[in-house]
Every structure is written in structure tokens, then in C-alpha cells.
Amino acid sequence: MNRIGLLGIEKLVEIERPFGNVVLLPTIDVTLDIPQNEIETEDYARLLENVNIAIDDVMTQKITSIENFCASILRRIVSCGDIKRAEVKLEAEYAVYRKTPVSSLDTQEMYNILARAILDKGEIKKMVGAEVLGITACPCAQEGLLEYTKEVLENRVGKSDAHELLKELPIATHNQRNASRLLIEVPEKYDIEVEELIKILEGVMSSRLYEVLKREDEVDVVLNAHQNPNFVEDVVRKILVEVSQKYVHLPPESTVFVKSESFESIHQHNAVAIRISTLRELRDEVSAESL
């Protein structure tokens, strides 16, 4: 593999969405696979010069989604020369409006959205994705504290009341910020709404985050997180179940990439889980489990 490219190109682009225009400030990376030992330094320079011209060119046209923007840049670049493989990668912040869970205040939340377009063996593959921050509450420490709590309760109020109380009481555990990321391959003509991916990611965390929380919201978020503990691997698995159920119309060979990283509150290091599968594999697993 012999690859050259430009990393960290920043642009302001306007995406025309059905519900209105969205302004983004993406960072774009472009790489090209070139035959080795056959072209001159000057040609490399021209190839890379073309990358910038291609981006500026595509930006003057109508853009309907981040993945189509990537695909248009890719097509424009590969039209300039004999390139076997090329990739355009984009990451941007994306603001979504929410309501706080109890007080129903309006709040604007920020997510990362991701897209890729890859030319490989004459075909263009698109990927679309999102990265979301949320809370993970640790199930393992919670089990330990459940035992501790059970003992305290049984000693004072007996087994029966203790048993009932444990169903209702939030059990303490360590919890922390987590960043989870989902990328799905889509056929060239097809679009996935990034808002859907953001909803999947937020839905499986122990709790979503909010930029503003009144006291009553904060209690609700913490209760929620403790009723829904998740190890990073649990987050990944739940995302995959959602994806396999929601995207039934996508081709089975579509790749799904999921990563969940917790900034552990009890360690200086992070815990991570990563899964790369095809939709076919996910569908097989889910149906095997539901038997």
C-alpha cells in the first residue's frame, strides 16, 4: 500500500437538508493510493493540488449530506488521474435541540458527525456515522455495592423488606463520561439520517448528557444512569442490536463499526470496546439470541 494525502483541511460548508440548511465546519482528510516508483515528485504535487481544487469546486455546488459531500469530492479527485483507491473522511460538530428530562428547558447539545467515501476497485462505498458523549455507570462495582447494601438492609429490616427495597433503591457505583461512535456503510444511492444514529447512541448509554440541568433534571439523570449500568462492551452490543433491527433494508454485506470508550473515574486509563461486523453477522446473532 502506497498512499499520499492531505490531513486536517478545514472548511465551512452549508448542507441543504429537507428541514432547512445546516452550517458545518468539518475537518477533512483525503488520501490517494498511487502506484509506487512510477510517478514523479512533480506529479505528486499536482495530485495534491487537485485535492484542494476539488474540494473548493464541490463546495460551490448543492450539498445534501456529509456522505454525499465526501463522495462528490472523491469522484472529482479520481476523475483527474489514474487512481485505484482513494478515501475522503470528514468529521464535524453538529448541534441538536433537546428538552431537559424533567424541567423541559430547551437545550442545545453538540455531537460529532462522521462520513467517509472510499473508492475501491472501481466502486464507491459511503459510510456515515456519529460520536456521542454520555454516562456509563459500572455494572461490576454496582454488583459489589448491591451486596453491601443488601447486608446493611437485611441486618436492620430483615430479608423480606430488604428484598423489596433493593428493587426500588438506586445502587451507587462509579460512573463517568463515555464517548461512543457508530459508523454504517451505505450504498451509494442511499442516505442515513445522522440524527437517527445520534438517537441510537444516546439511547443505549446509561444516561445521555445535557448542557443545562436544573436540580430535578440532575436527580433524574443520575437515577436513570444507575438503573441502566453499562460496561463499554454492553454499550457496543446494545448499539449493534439497535442497528440490526433498524436498518433491515440495508444490504447484508454492509460494514458496521462501533467503538465505546469510558474515561474511567476509578483509573487514570480508559476502557474501550470495539466491534467491526457486517449486517449479516449482526442479523444472524440477533435471531440466534431471540430463539
**Which range, of 79-87, 122-130, 194-202, 274-282, touches a second copy by CB under 8 A?**
274-282
DSSP-assigned letter for residue 171:
P
C-alpha cell at 202: 444516546
Residue 214 interacting with a second copy (CB under 8 A): yes
The number of residues that bind a second copy (CB under 8 A) is 101
Residue 207 interacting with a second copy (CB under 8 A): yes
Task: State the burial class of residue 30 (Cβ atoms within 10 Å of its Cβ: 0-12, 13-18, 19+).
Answer: buried
Judged by beta carbon, residue 124 or residue 179, the one nearer a second copy is 179
Judged by beta carbon, residue 61 or residue 270, the one nearer a second copy is 270
Q: Pick from 61, 104, 245, 265: which binds a second copy (CB under 8 A)?
A: 265
User: Residue 243, Cα to own-chain centre: how many angstroms?
Assistant: 12
Each as own residue / partner, the long-range contacts of residues 253-256 (CB below 8 Å, 24 or more positions apart, any chain) are 253/278, 253/279, 253/280, 254/184, 254/185, 254/186, 254/187, 254/278, 254/279, 255/127, 255/184, 255/185, 256/182, 256/183, 256/184, 256/185, 256/282
Directed axis angle between helix 41-59 and helix 66-78, to 10°?
140
Q: Pick from 82, 248, 249, 289: which binds a second copy (CB under 8 A)?
A: 289
- Give least dist CB 272 to a second copy, A: 5
**Which range, of 48-56, 73-81, 119-127, 181-189, touches a second copy by CB under 8 A?**
48-56
Identify the CA nearest to 176 among candidates 137, 221, 229, 131.
Answer: 137
Residue with cell 442511499: 190
Residue 183 interacting with a second copy (CB under 8 A): no
Q: Pick from 16, 193, 216, 253: which binds a second copy (CB under 8 A)?
A: 216
Residue 6 interacting with a second copy (CB under 8 A): yes
Q: How far apart are CA 252 and CA 250, in angstroms?
A: 6
Residues 224, 206 contacting (CB under 8 angstroms): yes
User: Which positions from 60 through 89 interact with a second copy, judged by CB under 8 A?
Assistant: none
Residue 234 interacting with a second copy (CB under 8 A): yes
Residue 3 interacting with a second copy (CB under 8 A): yes
- DSSP readout, 38-76? SS-HHHHHHHHHHHHHHHHHHHTS----HHHHHHHHHHH
Q: Pick from 70, 71, 86, 225: which binds a second copy (CB under 8 A)?
A: 225
Judged by beta carbon, residue 64 or residue 176, the one nearer a second copy is 176
- Give least dist CB 189 to a second copy, A: 28
**Which range, of 62-70, 79-87, 180-188, 275-283, touches a second copy by CB under 8 A?**
275-283
User: Which positions from 86 through 145 interact with a second copy, judged by CB under 8 A?
Assistant: 93, 95, 105-110, 133, 135, 139-141, 143-145
